[in-house]
Structure formats: C-alpha cells, structure tokens
Amino acid sequence: MHELELEQILVDEGFMAKPYKDTRGTWTFGHGLTYLTRNESRLVVATQRLPHIEEHLEEAVPNFTLLPTEVKKVLLNMAYQLGVTGLLGFRLTLQAAQEGDYMEMAWQMKDSDWFEQTPERARRLIARIEALV
C-alpha cells in the first residue's frame, strides 16, 4: 500500500539535497528526512552512488574497464571521496595505473594533498596498490 502514496508524499515533502531547518527548526534533508539509518545509507551508496561513479569513470578514464579489479576498486574509492573530477586531477596516478606501473601509481598517490588531508584512508588504498607489485 505504501507504494500507492509514495508519489504524493514526495510531492508534498519536496526535495532538498542539502540539510535545512524545517518550520519547527528541525534539521531536515531529502524528502523530509530527519535521519538516515546505516542500512539506508549503505543501500544508497551500493545501489546508486557507486554504480553512478563507476559509469563516469568508465567514460572519463581511458581503458578503465581493462584495469585490474583491485586498481579499479581503489580508483572507485578515491572517486567516491574526491568526486570523479577530483580524481581526474590525479593525472600521473591514472597514467601509472594505465601503464601497469603500480609503484609509480602508489608514489603519485603519496605525493598529493589528498594523502596529507586523509592519511589513514590514503595509506590503506596505497597499500592495496603496492600489494600488486
């Protein structure tokens, strides 16, 4: 039955991509949401965000689909954090990936503001690339 009312609720609530305070001062986002469960967030990331980002990477990075799975996964992780446009700024990292030079790829990842800004995440991703050598 809830499917029958979904469209009307979506219209009545409207949509706001960024959090805002509703008429009662409660922080709200999306279609009148005040919270999101871990499972709901995971579902959105798994079924919406990651496939969308992967599609953009396939369009933007030459031969992305031919890269080893682990390299694609690391680049997808980076693109999730930085946005595809942000990842495309890692020209030398992407070039090294396409050439199969994973030591150079790891070095280029280390030699970045991204590494300085999120060192724990960066170290984990770099270790996955270094393991390919």
- Cα separations in angstroms, 8 against 11, 13, 32, 87: 5, 8, 13, 39
Contact 89, 111 (CB under 8 A): no
Look at residue 82 in the predicted model and tell me its pLDDT.
97
Instruction: Please write the tens of the pLDDT for every residue from 39-73.
Output: 999 999 999 999 999 999 999 999 999 999 999 99
Instruction: Please write the tens of the pLDDT for every residue from 96-129.
Output: 999 999 999 999 999 999 999 999 999 999 999 9
Look at residue 4 in the predicted model and tell me its pLDDT.
79
The set of residues, in sequence order, having a beta carbon less than 8 Å from that of 130 and lying 6+ positions away, is 102, 103, 106
Angle between helices 91-99 and 69-88 (to 10 degrees): 150
d(CA 22, CA 34): 10
Look at residue 3 in the predicted model and tell me its pLDDT.
75
Please report the domains of the chain, with CATH numbers, ordered by start residue: 1-35 (no CATH), 45-130 (1.10.530.40)
Contact 79, 56 (CB under 8 A): yes
Rounded mean pLDDT, 88-94: 98
Residue where the block lists tokens 């790891």: 106
Look at residue 1 in the predicted model and tell me its pLDDT.
58
Instruction: Please write the tens of the pLDDT for every residue from 5-52.
Output: 889 989 999 999 999 998 899 999 999 999 999 999 999 999 999 999
